Structure 1
Amino acid sequence: MFLVCGEALFDLFGEDTSATSLSFDARIGGSPYNVALGLARLEEDAAFFGGISRDVLGEKLVAKLADEGVSGQHILRIDYLTTLSIVQKNEDGVPAYTFYGDNAADRMVTSDDLPDFAGTPPEFIHIGSYTALVEPVSQAYRALIERERTSCLIAFDPNIRPTVVSDMKTWRRNTESLVPLCDVIKVSDEDLDLIAPGEPVENVARTWLAKGAKLVVVTKGAEGASAFTMGIEVSIPGIKVKVEDTVGAGDTFQAALLAGLKTLGITNRPALAALDEGPLTRLLQLCAQAAAVTCSRRGADLPRRAELEKEIASLK
């Protein structure tokens, strides 16, 4: 099982309708929430652990997880409100986010709320984005991965959100403190530019590997992606696609990465450390194709397994 931990919210895509009004198209979102949906759409056994409000938006979030086949066994329902994210896109479809979420439900998880797996821990735990940084939820997730990391692989996507916390030094310190606890780290080049400006991508990746990570993947948008282990480095080009927007592209990449690792039989640290160049290259190609599908559609509408059968088959 994959346990995905983090925020669940609504993205509001705004359009000017007059000089004094805006029209919003509200879509379910949240980076880890999207990863959980993406895994379920790839027909993996996924569960979500996070705080979800009892308000009307929270009801929709929970219902969507159930509809997509994501287990809600570990969802924490609480009385705080649902986070809202205002999404503005540039001419290339790249989103910028403004969050309305102080004291919202996804931030109010504590270490007293950690799930009990009844002796059957997940094979992977994924954390990331602002719920890996803000209190008290970040301390809860840190406690969870410290408790469970001897029995499962830990995946992390920093997914920097400057409109949640503007201080990049805080993001960098938090990321660096989590790196030694994590096995698989996926990060965008844009995020690295924010937290490690001027540092070559490969230098950051090598530093993280030296601190304990086993696989570091850096996504580069239209330019493709690179992956680093202690022994190898591989890169793939981007996939040309007519971009509607890039909302959820990184989450799609992450879901495909995790699902692909399991398809390759990599569910423990020795197998991850032994990952070869050929399978790793094919894995990146699967992830890039998955992200391209999402980019061709509005919002975080992640692909289903049937749309990626060719790429998945290449892993076997």
Structure 2
Amino acid sequence: MFLICGEALFDLFGDASSGDNLSFDARIGGSPYNVAMGLARLGEEAAFFGGISNDAFGEKLVQKFRAEGVSQDFVLRTDYLTTLSVVQKDEHGHPAYTFYGTEAADRMITVDDLPIFAKPPQVLHVGSYTALVEPVATALKGLIRRERDHTLISFDPNIRPTVEPDMGLWRSNTEALVPLTDVIKVSDEDLALIMPGEPAEDIARSWLARGAGLVIVTRGRDGATAFTAKAEVSRPGVKVQVEDTVGAGDTFQAALLAGLKELGATGKSGLGNLDEARLNRLLEFAVKAAAITCSRRGADLPRRSELEKEWHALK
């Protein structure tokens, strides 16, 4: 089982309108929420741990999980409200987010809410702002420490300046999580925010030295680079007509985790045995998946049937 931990929210896409009115297209979102849905669409057993409101937005979030086949066994329903994220796109389709989520359901998880597993998850993934904001961040770190000896830990910093503008906090939090993490996926844009001027390859190698087994730096349209103690591999991006890039990183993350399972690399020794050829196939699979999402509006992640060629090529 893949256990994906973090936020579940609604993205509100603003559309131009006349007069004093504002029109919004509300889409289900939240980075970890998207990753869980992406894994389910790729045919994997995915479960979600996080707070989801009892409000109308929360009910939609739960209904979507049900329809997509994501387990809700570890979802915590509460009366706190759902986080709303207003999304504005630039001319390249890149989103900027404004969050309305103080004391929202996805943040108000405590250590007392941590799930107990009959069987430990194979992979535990955390990321985005719920890895930073309290009290949920402390709860998730506690869960990682409890499970890390028998579970592969995955982390995506996914920096959100409109949630917390202090980049020093983001950096220190990321650095604190690195030694607890086996797989780190991070965008070059996020690294430029929290570690400006530092070469991405130097950061990746330093994280490997501190205990990570695999670090992947994504570069948007320019593809991605994978770093292990034994190999460094890059793959170019896939050209598509970009509708927007919302959910592209989450798609890459879901494809990465599913691909690691297919390669038999969901343990620390398996990560260490990844050679250049398998890393190339893994990146190609994840890059192609992300490109499909970029061609569609919002976080509309691909299904395995859309990636059959790349999936069969993994091994």
TM-score w.r.t. length of structure 2: 0.99
Corresponding position: 1:253 with 2:252: yes
Question: Deviation digits for residues 148-197 of structure 1, max 9, x if unmatched?
Answer: 00011000000000000000000000000000000000000000000010
Structure 2 distance, partners of 1:19, 1:144, is: 49
Structure 1 distance, partners of 2:178, 2:21, is: 44
Corresponding position: 1:182 with 2:181: yes
Corresponding position: 1:121 with 2:120: yes
Partner of 1:275: 274
Structure 2 distance, partners of 1:298, 1:247, is: 7
Partner SS, residue 103 of structure 1: coil
Structure 2 distance, partners of 1:144, 1:81, is: 24
Partner SS, residue 18 of structure 1: coil
Deviation (angstroms), 1:16: 2.0
Corresponding position: 1:244 with 2:243: yes
The amino acid across from 2:104 in the alignment is A
The amino acid across from 2:312 in the alignment is A
Structure 1 distance, partners of 2:314, 2:250, is: 20
Question: Deviation digits for residues 16-51 of structure 1, max 9, x if unmatched?
Answer: 212412100000000000000000000000000000
Moved more, 145-154 or 265-274: 265-274
Structure 2 distance, partners of 1:30, 1:90, is: 20
Structure 2 distance, partners of 1:164, 1:116, is: 30
Partner of 2:84: 84
Structure 1 distance, partners of 2:237, 2:56, is: 39
Partner of 2:167: 168
The amino acid across from 2:52 in the alignment is I
Structure 1 distance, partners of 2:96, 2:266, is: 34
Structure 2 distance, partners of 1:271, 1:293, is: 28
Partner of 1:63: 63
Partner of 1:104: 104
Structure 1 distance, partners of 2:201, 2:171, is: 17
Question: Deviation digits for residues 94-148 of structure 1, max 9, x if unmatched?
Answer: 0000000000000000000011102x10000000000000000000100001000
The amino acid across from 1:132 in the alignment is A
Deviation (angstroms), 1:267: 1.7
Partner of 1:146: 145
Partner SS, residue 71 of structure 2: coil
Partner of 2:130: 131
Structure 2 distance, partners of 1:229, 1:22, is: 48
Partner SS, residue 302 of structure 1: coil
Deviation (angstroms), 1:6: 0.3
Partner of 1:36: 36
Partner of 2:27: 27
The amino acid across from 1:83 in the alignment is T
The amino acid across from 2:30 in the alignment is G
Corresponding position: 1:215 with 2:209: no
Partner SS, residue 177 of structure 2: helix
Structure 1 distance, partners of 2:19, 2:202, is: 48
What is the root-mean-square deviation in Å for CA atoms of aligned residues?
A: 0.5
Q: For structure 2, list consecutive stretches of 5 or more residues without a partner in the other structure.
A: none
Q: How many residues align?
A: 315
Partner SS, residue 159 of structure 1: coil
Deviation (angstroms), 1:231: 1.1
Partner SS, residue 50 of structure 1: strand
Structure 1 distance, partners of 2:78, 2:210, is: 36
The amino acid across from 1:27 in the alignment is R
Partner of 1:205: 204
Partner of 1:231: 230
The amino acid across from 1:63 in the alignment is Q
The amino acid across from 1:75 in the alignment is V
The amino acid across from 1:276 in the alignment is D
Q: For structure 1, list consecutive stretches of 5 or more residues without a partner in the other structure.
A: none
Partner SS, residue 164 of structure 2: coil
Question: Deviation digits for residues 80-106 of structure 1, max 9, x if unmatched?
Answer: 000000000000000000000000000
The amino acid across from 2:68 in the alignment is E
Structure 1 distance, partners of 2:34, 2:27, is: 11
Partner of 2:263: 264
Deviation (angstroms), 1:205: 0.1
The amino acid across from 2:130 in the alignment is T
